Amino acid sequence: MGLVPPCFITEIVERDLREGHYPRLLTRFPPEPNGYLHIGHARSIVLNFGLALDYGGECNLRYDDTNPETEKEEYARAIEEDVRWLGFTPDRVLYASDYFETMYRCALVLIQEGKAYVDDLSEEEMSELRAQGKPSPYRDRSVEENLELFERMRQGEFPTGSRVLRAKIQPDHPNFKLRDPVLYRIVHAPHYHAGNRWVIYPMYDYAHPLEDFIEGVTHSLCTLEFENNRAVYDWVIENLKGKCGLPLSPRPYQYEFARLDLTYTVLSKRKLIRLVEGGYVSGWDDPRLPTLRALRRRGVRPEAIREFVRRTGISRHEARIEMELFEEVVRDDLNPIAPRVLGVLEPLRVVLTNYQGEEWLEAPYWPRDIGKEGARPLPFSQELYIERSDFSLNPPKGWKRLAPGQRVRLRHAYVIELEDVVEEGGEVKLLKARMVPGTLGANPEDGIKPKGVIHWVSARHALPVEYRLYNRLFLTQDPEEGGDFLKNLNPLALEVKKGFVEPSVAQDPPETRYQLERLGYFWQDPGDSRPGRLVMNRIVPLKEGYRPQ
């Protein structure tokens, strides 16, 4: 099975390779380094790098770094790190800014051929005339005047935003994108990669096709929002092929696919910046966010993200994918690799009145259906912690946990029955219980029929843990429902619990993922957890609808 599921793009690639349109496949992942990658970018990453791997081609990581005001080295380094974490190795790491000289020469060719002109209109004036389908009063400047002005723009004689270079196509074209689009603008700002060498910067619609053509990209894959931009892409290539050092053929073609969108979160860089800079989350790696580094810190594995992209497919149909599906894929990925251990989130102390000392039980890591071997010693002592929610003084009908007159089995251990409840100020502080002799392990022949099975840890040996329970970031499937998305933030997107976990986890590598039985999948937070101060993140809950019985 390939990394990219069969789709309209694989059909195009197979046709082009079969018919010999290209000697080999070359794709690119072209992020702008103005923020951190999120789960939505994963579809483009897997598609571009996956196609190269599936069809014996190559894929470049290329930064579309044409806006010095928003781009940073920090973002560029983080992007490459995230791509490699997802399991992909770029054949080359490239920068659009390295092509600025070639792009400038190409712009001179367009001016010389009467296909581009310098415009003095303000942004507002230009937008108004474009909306009306009317030409700029500067459209008919001579080639000589345009060349002079463009050179003066490059030399920094004019202030930011005072002039632009526009393509001379058609002011009233039915495709708004072709109404003399802007090719260059003036920005007096240092560039994180190019330094201070330039004060004019190419626009995306001009730079993108040239970058692809210069590199020899065969299939330029974009999300559907760039469908109308394809006309500009083709115009630039058709008017510059064979000129300014560019080949005549083969040329790249742009194809669009639907972007990946998820319920209960936002994937807009602008909105993510508001969340981070407004202090609604702790940073770009806050596990409540959908950024790749946040998912990484939460404990989601790259294998799960790649499978999520494969399972959701590649199409031209825009649809918001249910968060439940993402969580299901994460659970499916963790289930066969996460050993089962015991932990308690909200501890309630239990003292066994007829048990003294301690013993070490052998508890398997894996249920039978996983088919793996392995066990660990599990300490059992007179004092235990159970989950507070596993006890009720006045249980509802059908209650299958601990209650007066109701026995339960402790997972991997004995059956217990309640003897006394100690309360303080109306709150249950301690349970006194009796261990039923001869009930170690699940033995149906002992005649004991407990109502249910609950998890526990030994109070004498358990390790204290700060549990961080990450829930959905927003209360509604569409966070923008009702206006400002910040009003739909989930106040319980992070719940912190002070609990305990069995001592065996201290022997494991810190990157081990666990299933805490009846609670969910967890791992040690790579930023804050350390020996003596365990912090465990809940990666994903157990299956939606699961309730402890």
**Domains of the chain with CATH codes:** 8-92+206-312 (3.40.50.620), 101-202 (3.90.800.10), 340-540 (2.40.240.10)
What pLDDT band is residue 449 in, cutting at 50, 70 and 90?
Answer: confident
* Alpha-carbon dihedral sign for residues 415, 421, 424, 428: positive
Q: What is the pLDDT of residue 445?
A: 55
Taken as a whole, the chain contains a residue count of 549
Cis peptide before 510 (omega within 30 of 0): no
Q: For residue 225, what are its two tokens?
A: 């929002």
- 11 CB burial (10 A radius; 0-12, 13-18, 19+): exposed
- Look up residue 243 and give its two tokens: 């000129």
pLDDT of residue 315: 96
| Confidence at 544, pLDDT banded by 50, 70, 90 | low
Active site residues: 32, 259, 269
- Cβ proximity of 473 and 282 under 8 Å: no
* Residue range 512-537, pLDDT digits in tens: 999 999 999 999 999 999 988 999 99
Q: Provide mean pLDDT across the span 335-351.
A: 98
Contacts of 270 (CB under 8 A, 6+ apart): none
Which neighbouring-strand residues pair with 137?
A: none
pLDDT mean over 336-340: 97
Distance of CA 41 to the CA centre of its chain: 7
Cβ-count burial of 257 within 10 angstroms (0-12 exposed, 13-18 middle, 19+ buried)? buried
End-to-end CA distance of the chain: 39
- State both tokens at 19: 């018919």
Distance CA 243, CA 428 (A): 82
How far apart, in whole angstroms, are the C-alpha atoms of residue 127 and residue 354?
84
Which pLDDT tens digit goes with each residue over 145-195?
999 999 999 999 999 999 999 999 999 999 999 999 999 999 999 999 999
CB neighbourhood size of 20 (10 A): 8
Angstrom distance (rounded) from CA 43 to CA 39: 8
Predicted pLDDT at 447? 66
**Is residue 467 within 8 Å of 522, Cβ to Cβ?**
yes
Q: Show the 3-state SS of 4-59.
A: CCCCHHHHHHHHHHHCCCCCCCEEEECCCCCCCCEHHHHHHHHHHHHHHHHCCCEE
